[in-house]
């Protein structure tokens, strides 16, 4: 085999790859925001006294968690126009990512809320704390501390999942890489570089999440 490495197309297209990274982070951020909204709303509805609502939430979680993301994004991409809703592929990808991440966020957030013992809430009431203070100090912060590692890991996974959005021509790193590869036929060089870029994005996100954890969710040092 006399394959000769040639990174010239990668070097020439590197500015486009960096813009693709920004597109990937934009998709991920938009998806995260929608996922959190769905997660919080889903937790509230999951504990609704109305059984059909609880069943709908549980069915949504099971459906999303047990079907491939590629199928989900294709379904949304082709279903919305049938309903008379026409949006660009990037917005479609953000919606699909948000729905996918939201299904996982529901279970993660619900687990954190359930980890708070009812006795702690009763103790807060006995101390005369306001309901807002009880929620903020006794429920919210400990729950966030409990779910933070799982939630941030899910968000990093969601960032990597954005690569599938190239299937509907959403603008992100993989779609840029596909264009450069189709023009140059340097598959190894292009996707080797893309692998490093995805790793760097995930690593940087992990460091940022760790800084936030150390700043807001770490236990006091005695």
Give the pLDDT confidence of 65-100 residue by residue, as tens digits. Answer: 999 999 999 999 998 888 888 889 999 999 999 999
Least confident of 15-29, 126-140, 172-186: 126-140
Q: What is the dihedral of CA 203, 107, 98, 158, to 10 degrees?
A: 20
* Measured distance CA(91)–CA(81) in Å, rounded: 13
Is pLDDT at 135 greater than 70 in this prediction?
no
In angstroms, rounded to a whole number, what is the distance separating the alpha carbons of residues 216 and 145? 9
- Is pLDDT at 221 greater than 60 in this prediction? no
Q: How much is the average pLDDT of 41-53?
A: 86
Q: Residues of the chain with pLDDT > 70: what percent?
A: 95
pTM of the predicted model, to two decimals? Answer: 0.88
The domain spans of the chain are 12-217
pLDDT classification of 222: cutoffs 50, 70, 90: low
Average pLDDT, the chain: 88
CA distance 152 to 129: 31
Name the H helices within the chain: 8-12, 14-46, 51-65, 69-82, 89-114, 118-126, 131-133, 141-161, 173-184, 187-212
Fold type of domain 12-217: MetI-like fold (1.10.3720)
Rounded to an integer, the average pLDDT of 109-137 is 76
């Amino acid at each position: 085999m006399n394959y000769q490495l040639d990174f010239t197309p990668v070097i020439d297209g590197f500015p486009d790859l960096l813009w693709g990274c920004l597109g990937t982070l934009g998709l991920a951020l938009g998806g995260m925001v929608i996922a959190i909204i769905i997660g919080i709303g889903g937790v509230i509805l999951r504990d609704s006294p109305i059984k059909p609502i609880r069943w709908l939430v549980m069915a949504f979680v099971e459906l999303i968690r047990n079907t491939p993301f590629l199928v989900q994004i294709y379904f949304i991409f082709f279903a919305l126009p049938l309903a008379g809703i026409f949006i660009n592929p990037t917005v479609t990808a953000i919606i699909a990512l948000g729905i996918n991440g939201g299904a996982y966020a529901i279970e993660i957030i619900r687990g954190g809320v359930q980890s708070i013992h009812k006795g702690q809430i009763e103790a807060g009431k006995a101390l005369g704390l306001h309901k807002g203070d009880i929620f903020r100090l006794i429920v919210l912060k400990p729950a966030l501390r409990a779910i933070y590692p799982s939630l941030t890991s899910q968000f990093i996974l969601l960032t990597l999942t954005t690569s599938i959005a190239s299937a509907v021509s959403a603008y992100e790193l993989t779609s840029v890489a596909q264009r450069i590869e189709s023009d140059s036929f340097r598959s190894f060089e292009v996707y080797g570089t893309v692998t490093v870029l995805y790793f760097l994005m995930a690593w940087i996100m992990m460091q940022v999440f760790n800084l936030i954890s150390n700043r807001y969710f770490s236990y006091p040092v005695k």
